[in-house]
Amino acid sequence: MWRRLLAIAVIGTAVYGLTGIGAEKLVVYTYSSFASWGAAPYIEEAFEQDRQVDVEFVATGDARMMLAKLIAEQEAGKPGADVFIGVEAGDLSTALDHDVFVPLTEDDIPNLASVRQDLLIDVTNSLIPYEHSYIALVYDSEVLAVEDLPRTFEALLEPTYENMIILEDPRTSSVGLAFLLWTIHQYGDPEYLEYWRKLLPNVLTVTSGWSEAYDLFLAGEAPIVVSFSTDTAYSVIEEGSNRYKILLPNSQAYRSVYFMGIVEGTQQLQLTKEFLNFVLSPQVQERIPSTEWMFPANRETLLPVLFYQNAVFPPDPVMVAPEEVGKNLDRWLREWSRIVVGG
């Protein structure tokens, strides 16, 4: 019986290896939600249409794990992908430090010209943005009436909100990291630690990732969660509900940008450039809101009406400069965990 199983395994491997022979291959590492619910299927289909190419999205974990995987492969001299989609702004300096991506110009990527200026954070353009959103607070309007909302950071510390806030772990979640950086931006270093100390009693839990946090929020465990300002659009469009609304503490939101890049060492340099350009094209960017629930990077894209009406575009987004993040992330995360863990 074991022999039969071994045969199955071997044959399965062989079959797997045999697919994709013939066409040129483009491997894209990305995070699982992009590959599954996101724009990936459309991109794959459309890109393959006119070209003799096989696009393969590999997304077996969250963005950070995929990046770790890519970096490990790079160090071994065998990068497994040609393109990476999904570096968040908070990880920008880390990614750039490892020299994984190829610097680009508008000559390489014509559509780069249409990208919003404020999103072009990487001056070398080794990583270029494809979508963005804003980190804010999302609340359950059935639990919190408008008068009861915590409208400032300080208000969040009030005892009325005990055990009412769901946060994400900045070590494991980009959203969590964004929120942490936001508090650092607001209060400065090291005063932000004091803020966290006072905030903790009001925090129900600090989850490892955004989906866990949102899961808890939807299950009604707590009425406030740190999430994206585009979430209301999802609620209205997909669930027909007005229940979940956005709150901008201090009338601010924190910028969250997602980047993509060409992996150093790719054999398909030209093809990858075309690919990135394609992702920035209006045809793809149009699909970003309804698949990614984010704002498109291409400023010339038209947003669907309902999305436009319900997603919140903050007037005054803030952000900590990537170089600052790069210099201090290690220390900040360590200090943060000293306060929170066992706190």
Partner 1 sequence: MVQDSSGWLKTNRAGRIALICLPLVFLALIFYYPLLRLFQEGVVEEGRLTFRYIQEVFAEPYFRHVILFTAEQALLSTLLAITIGLPWAYIFTRYGFPFKDTLRSLTIVPFVLPSITVAVGFILFFGNNGHLNRLLMSLFGLEGPPLRLLYSLKGIVLAHAFYNAPIITRMVHAKWERLDPAYEESAQTLGAGRVRRFIGVTLPMLLPSVMTGAALAFIFCFLSFPIVLALGGARFSTLEVEIYTQFIVLYQHKTGAALAIIEIVLSLLFTYGYIRLEGRFTQELEAAPIRPTIPLLRRRLTLGKGTVWLFVAASGVLFLGPMVSIIVDSFTREWAGRTVLTLHWYSYIFQPQHEALIGAAPLRSVLNSFQVGLAAMGVASLVGLPIAFVIARYRFRGRRGFDTLVMASLGISSVALGAALLAAFLRPPLQLSSGLVAIVLAHSILAYPFVIRAVVPALESLDRRVVEAARSLGATRLQAFRDIELPLIRRGLLVGAVFAFAISLGEMSATIMLARPELKTMPVVVNDLRAARSFGGASAMSCLLILVTGGAFIIIERFGERLFGGERWSR
Among positions 185-214, residues that touch partner 1 (CB under 8 A) are 200, 204-209, 211-212, 214
- Least Å distance, CB 330 to partner 1, is 6
Residue among 116, 190, 189, 185 at smallest CA distance from 153: 185
Residue of the chain from 182, 195, 234, 258 that contacts partner 1 (CB under 8 A): 234
293 three-state secondary structure:
coil
For residue 170, what is the DSSP state? T
Look at the block and give the residue holding tokens 């150093």: 264
Q: Of the two residues 74 and 111, which places its CB atom closer to partner 1 in the complex?
A: 74
- Rounded to whole angstroms, the Cα distance separating 236 from 233 reads 5
Residue among 152, 253, 161, 148 at smallest CA distance from 200: 161
Q: Is the peptide bond before 190 cis (omega within 30 degrees of 0)?
A: yes
With contact defined as beta carbons under 8 Å apart, do 290 and 304 qualify?
yes
Residue of the chain from 155, 189, 243, 277 that contacts partner 1 (CB under 8 A): 243
State the number of binding residues for partner 1 (CB under 8 A). Answer: 73
Q: Of the two residues 191 and 238, which places its CB atom closer to partner 1 in the complex?
A: 238
- Least Å distance, CB 4 to partner 1, is 9
Residue of the chain from 114, 172, 266, 328 that contacts partner 1 (CB under 8 A): 172
- Least Å distance, CB 117 to partner 1, is 30
Residue of the chain from 23, 37, 267, 300 that contacts partner 1 (CB under 8 A): 37
Which H or E run contains 138? strand 128-140
With contact defined as beta carbons under 8 Å apart, do 281 and 111 qualify?
yes
Residue of the chain from 124, 163, 251, 309 that contacts partner 1 (CB under 8 A): 163
Q: Judged by CB under 8 A, which stretch of 27-35, 105-113, 126-134, 278-286 contacts partner 1? A: 27-35
* Torsion angle in degrees (nearest 10) through CA of 205, 132, 141, 181: 40
Q: What b/e string do you get for 258-286 counting C-beta neighbours within 10 Å, with b at 16 or more?
A: bbbbbbeebebeebbbbbbbbbbbeebbb
Residue among 284, 292, 264 at smallest CA distance from 115: 284
Restricting to residues 1-20, name those near partner 1 by CB under 8 A: 1-2, 5-6, 8-9, 12-13, 16-17
Residue of the chain from 26, 43, 59, 263 that contacts partner 1 (CB under 8 A): 59
Dihedral sign computed on CA atoms, order 143, 149, 155, 158 = negative
Residue among 163, 155, 139, 111 at smallest CA distance from 278: 111
- Least Å distance, CB 39 to partner 1, is 10
> Does residue 114 interact with partner 1 by CB under 8 A?
no
Residue of the chain from 220, 267, 299, 302 that contacts partner 1 (CB under 8 A): 220
- Rounded to whole angstroms, the Cα distance separating 72 from 154 reads 42
- Least Å distance, CB 240 to partner 1, is 4
Report residue 275: phi and psi, to 5°: -65, -50
- Rounded to whole angstroms, the Cα distance separating 91 from 108 reads 24
> Which residues partner with 206 through β-bridges?
167
Q: Of the two residues 109 and 175, which places its CB atom closer to partner 1 in the complex?
A: 175
- Least Å distance, CB 341 to partner 1, is 4
Q: Of the two residues 60 and 267, which places its CB atom closer to partner 1 in the complex?
A: 60
Q: Judged by CB under 8 A, which stretch of 47-55, 56-64, 146-154, 254-262 contacts partner 1? A: 56-64
Q: Of the two residues 1 and 305, which places its CB atom closer to partner 1 in the complex?
A: 1
Q: Of the two residues 112 and 288, which places its CB atom closer to partner 1 in the complex?
A: 288
